[in-house]
Each structure stands twice: as structure tokens, then as C-alpha cells.
Amino acid sequence: MGRRQIDTLGLEGVIFVQADAGDAAVLDTLGDAQLVLACGIFGNVADHDIRSTIRGLSVLLVGGGSTIWTRHRLAPDLTPSIREWFVAAGFKETAFVSVADSSASVGSHRLVAKDPTRPLPRRLFEFIGDGAGGHC
Ligand SMILES: C[S@@+](CC[C@H](N)C(=O)[O-])C[C@H]1O[C@@H](n2cnc3c(N)ncnc32)[C@H](O)[C@@H]1O
């Protein structure tokens, strides 16, 4: 479906990769990113995997690059901690929106202090279950 959409929309310079997005070996082949959408991950992984993913984002993105991420705010709301973890990893928050009439939230962070010595974690995240439970 992804490949078909790229063709249908005539998106030039967009490649489609069907692979494990938590595996550093896969991510290492993609090169530096200007933008990473980390949507639908943080509500489906353990807290320590959220931290690994944030560290991984700080390696995958070019300096000045951005990430957009999602997470539900069901109790206990982890989004305040997530926002602190981004800042600790060298990001500046550019937006945080609690979606009205829903438990969803969307954040955006820009990498302002890239540490070129930081290695990519071998494993960024592992889904708990299949992610089909509707948690974002
Ligand atoms: C909650 S859905 C989010 C879908 C979409 N990104 C969004 O925000 O609407 C999570 C999706 O990630 C997929 N997924 C789970 N583990 C993955 C992995 N290691 N690599 C790539 N996709 C994975 C699940 O199969 C599921 O389709």
C-alpha cells in the first residue's frame, strides 16, 4: 500500500522500506533524517524503550531536524516525562498539543544540541503486543 501511494501521489525522492523500525541495523542504512514521525509508538512500548527511541532520534536526525510524536495521556500521564527526556537528549520543544475530547497528544521537538559521539542504540523499541490496541 505504501509503495502504491508513493506512485499514486507521484512523490519523487521518497523511498519505501518495509522493515523493523526498532532495529538499528535497518535505521543505519537510511542516512540522516530531516524529519522523523514517531507516531503510534510511545503508547505501545515500555517506558525504557521510549527513552531509547528518544536517544535514537537524536542520532538519526541531522542537527536542526525535527520529530513529531504521539502518546496518549491516560493515567499515569507520561507526557510530562517524555517532554523532559527529549530536552535531556538535546531537543527543544516546538509544540505540544493535547487533542480535545480525546486522550491523545502530539508533540514536536527540534534537535538543537546534537551529540555526534552518541551511538545509535542497537534496539530502539519493541512493541508490547501488536500495536493494534488503539494506543498512540
Ligand atoms: C498504533 S499503530 C500506529 C500507526 C500509524 N503510525 C499512526 O500513527 O496512525 C502502530 C503500528 O506500528 C506497527 N509496528 C509495530 N512494531 C513495529 C516495528 N518494530 N516496526 C515497524 N512497525 C511496527 C504495528 O503493526 C502498527 O501498525
C-beta 23 within 6 A of ligand 1: no
Distance from residue 41's CA to the centre of ligand 1 (Å): 7
DSSP class per residue in 16-63: ---S-TTBHHHHTTS--EEEEEE-S-TTSS-HHHHHHHHHHHHHHEEE
3-class secondary structure, 2: helix
pLDDT digits (tens, 9 = 90+) for 40-99: 999 999 999 999 999 999 999 999 999 999 999 999 999 999 999 999 999 999 999 999
Superfamily of domain 19-111: Vaccinia Virus protein VP39 (3.40.50.150)
Q: Indicate if the pLDDT at residue 131 is higher than 60.
A: no
C-beta 38 within 6 A of ligand 1: no
Question: Closest ligand 1 atom, CA of 23?
Answer: 19
Q: What pLDDT was estimated at residue 132?
A: 60
Question: Closest ligand 1 atom, CA of 126?
Answer: 19
The mean of the pLDDT values for the chain is: 94
Q: Nearest to residue 39, comparing CAs of 100, 101, 125? A: 125
pLDDT digits (tens, 9 = 90+) for 1-47: 899 999 999 999 888 999 999 999 999 898 899 999 999 999 999 99
Q: What pLDDT was estimated at residue 38?
A: 97
**Residue with the nearest Cα to atom 24 of ligand 1?**
131
pTM: 0.93
